[in-house]
Amino acid sequence: MWLETEFKEDTMNIGSTVIGFGRNLSLTGHYEVFERKIYQYDRDRVKKWIKKLAKEISKDYGNR
């Protein structure tokens, strides 16, 4: 599933002045559903990537 997003500028009007507070990512409501075959190679690659990241996160936050 693909969900379309857009950046929206957070602003506030104070009198005739517009103050910006930054951008937020939000959903537009447009989406598309498509089929994709996920091969075992893809699963193995993602599994390896997740384990690597988990170890890195554990090093950063493990002693807290």
pLDDT in tens, 13-64: 888 888 888 888 999 999 999 999 999 999 999 999 999 999 999 988 876 5
The pLDDT score that the predictor gives to residue 60 is: 87
Amino acid at 6: E
| Model pLDDT, residue 12 | 85
Encoding tokens for residue 19? Answer: 């103050």
Whole-number Å distance between alpha carbons of 23 and 31: 21
Cβ-contact 48, 40 below 8 angstroms: no
Note the pLDDT of residue 63: 60
